[in-house]
Amino acid sequence: MTGPVPSASPASEASAELLAGLIGSGVRDLVLAPGSRSQALALAAMDLSRTGHLQVHVRIDERVAGFTALGIARETGLPVAIVCTSGTAAGNLLPATMEAFHSGIPLLLLTADRPPELRGIGANQATVQQGLFGPFVRMATDAPVPPSAPEDGWTGLARAAVEASLGLLGDGVAGVGGPVHLNLPAREPLSAAGTAEAVPGPAPARAAADPLVLERGPRTIVIAGADAGAGAEELSHRGGWPLIAEIVSGARFGRLIVHGYRELLRDEALGGRVERAVVFGHPTLSREVAALLARADLDVVAVRGGGEELDLNGRTTSVDAVSVADGTADRQWLGAWMNASAGRAIDLSAPAPDQDGLSSEDKATRLSAVRAELDAVRRRVDRGILADAVWRATWPHDRLVFGSSRLVRVADQVLGGKKVPVHANRGLAGIDGTIATALGIALASQAAGAVGVTRVLLGDLAFLHDVGALLLPADEPRPRIQVIVGNDGGGTIFDGLEVAASAPVEDLDRAFYTPHGASLRELAAAYGWDFAQVTTRSALDQALTSPVAGPQIIEVPLER
């Protein structure tokens, strides 16, 4: 039986003011994990969603909620709020919080809590939430219990939280962005009848930074890591410098990209002569880049992107912006890299049909051409072909998300240049939350009727690790997303690590590869996703390019 609804609740009033303050500071999305202690925040959010001031996304799993918010924030660049109840609910936000901290993604963690008198006495669902996220937040506040309010009011607290999440240190000065934790205790009554109102406003903006002007003299390369963006290609083009762009950088396009960069960095005539590296984003995919950036004699200029600052050799110069001095490019230096790169581009496309052979009057010639064509159609998919097919099917109006699986390293080695929006959680390069992140990206990129498909390429263990993200509310938009799973029956990424050469086979299987017998088809059916299993290149191309109306899983069995 439901009791009478209270006519007043300090918790509800404070929640409405706080969320209104967030909306006034540019917040447009909130991910909600239901719970009792957070009911005032939840009801205020739902009220604001009805006015169109706030998009509310409901997830029953707080870990999934955290990564969904991270995906939305990745795509929009705006802070996204996450609401959860007290206890273990708050703890489940830690994985997404850690990734956001190292990647500089603005998240606002709104965790409901018990009031101080119910802490530390064994009260139900009460734990130590103040300071819960430790060093992984840019700001942490244990708010007063309503009707008490922060010194600058709930609106002031909201504004400060947004600014901290964007890395603004005052007067628009740029610092390091990331998650913010607002711990929100409340006493009963936890909610009441009422209406929440808000006036949408813009997010606070960073002040324009004065760029560091780079002289043309030193032999220079531009390195684009995760989240680098198009700025890396632009600088490479202006400076006439070779561009080493990881596949997750969003900068692998243009005339100056270097193919086969791992081998060339090991070449003393090229990699050994580099005097300066200008780094955008967070490079993580090759040991060769890490070894170069650790060289004590190398001048490293790292362009800050909002996340953790890079300094692998102890003498890195961190800047907010760069430009190039007037002058002439070192054509000899650039030409050496471009000539070496030209012979290392990989083309995995199927050969064109032999039209002359197919129309030949010679029976043997015609039969040979037909067999060759059938072989091409029936060609089984390997990791390189899988990455190539997904890359070719994806265009600038789409989004491509890479999981931290073996496939992203294969893609980095074999794919050419193309201006495609790419995302990946490479702050900590964990397999956590890949599907949830991709769903957040899909929701944000397809908002307001925008076209495009979000594709996520990942391995089977990364898929199973986040299978709970497949549960989507029936009353929310179903995004156009293809989750493409390269299923080789376990964590074969360990094949390339030292442990594969030292551990007994049975230990490798149980402790590292973790083989499984999960049916992806049945999981798709259970969660209401479309499903296809493909084994040939032609079938894969058809699955990737057919019209997408909602969520799909495409399973591609792979050889060990």
Query: Cα dist. 280→173, 211, 235 in Å?
Result: 20, 14, 10
User: Omega into 10 within 30° of 0, i.e. cis?
Assistant: no
How is the chain split into domains, by residue range? 10-185, 212-342, 379-557
Q: What is the pLDDT of residue 1?
A: 42
Q: Distance between CA 236 and CA 242 in Å, rounded? A: 6
Tokens for 33, please give them: 């994990």
Res. 170 pLDDT band, cuts 50 70 90: low
Res. 364 pLDDT band, cuts 50 70 90: confident
Contact 483, 457 (CB under 8 A): no
Tokens for 42, please give them: 């939840």
Query: For 434-459, how does the pLDDT look when each residue is reduced to its tens digit (9 = 90+)?
Result: 999 999 999 999 999 999 999 999 99
Q: Name every residue whose Cβ is closer than 8 Å to that of residue 505 and which is 6 or more positions away in sequence.
A: none
Mean pLDDT of 92-119: 94
Res. 40 pLDDT band, cuts 50 70 90: very high
Q: Distance between CA 17 and CA 149 in Å, rounded? A: 10
Reduced to 3 states (helix: H, G, I; strand: E, B; else coil), residue 108 is strand
Q: Is the domain 212-342 a CATH 3.40.50.1220 member?
A: yes
Q: Distance between CA 251 and CA 34 in Å, rounded? A: 39
Q: In angstroms, how far is CA 383 from the centroid of its own chain?
A: 21
What is the CATH topology of the domain spanning 10-185?
Rossmann fold (3.40.50)
Q: Distance between CA 274 and CA 212 in Å, rounded? A: 20
Tokens for 17, please give them: 């003011």
Strand order in the sheet with 180-185: 55-58, 29-32, 80-84, 107-113, 180-185, 139-142
Tokens for 524, please give them: 């798709």
pTM metric for this prediction: 0.93
Tokens for 506, please give them: 């049975």
Reduced to 3 states (helix: H, G, I; strand: E, B; else coil), residue 332 is helix
Query: For 68-99, how does the pLDDT look when each residue is reduced to its tens digit (9 = 90+)?
Result: 999 999 999 999 999 999 999 999 999 999 99
Judged against a pLDDT cut of 90, whether residue 63 lies above it is answered with yes
Q: Distance between CA 443 and CA 74 in Å, rounded? A: 11
Tokens for 505, please give them: 């086979």
Judged against a pLDDT cut of 70, whether residue 377 lies above it is answered with no
Mean pLDDT of 143-149: 97
Look at the chain and count its residues.
560
Strand order in the sheet with 220-224: 243-245, 220-224, 276-280, 299-303, 317-319
Res. 7 pLDDT band, cuts 50 70 90: low
Please check whether the two domains, 212-342 and 379-557, share a CATH topology. yes
Contact 69, 28 (CB under 8 A): no
Query: For 316-343, how does the pLDDT look when each residue is reduced to its tens digit (9 = 90+)?
Result: 999 999 999 999 999 999 999 999 999 8
Instruction: Tell me how crowded residue 168 is: count the other CB atoms within 10 A of its CB.
Output: 20
- Which H/E stretch holds residue 300? strand 299-303
* DSSP states of 47-103: HHHHTTS-EEEE-S-HHHHHHHHHHHHHHH-S-EEEEE-STHHHHTTHHHHHHHHHH
Reduced to 3 states (helix: H, G, I; strand: E, B; else coil), residue 441 is helix
Least confident of 128-137, 429-438, 497-506, 521-530: 497-506
Q: Is the domain 379-557 a CATH 3.30.750.24 member?
A: no
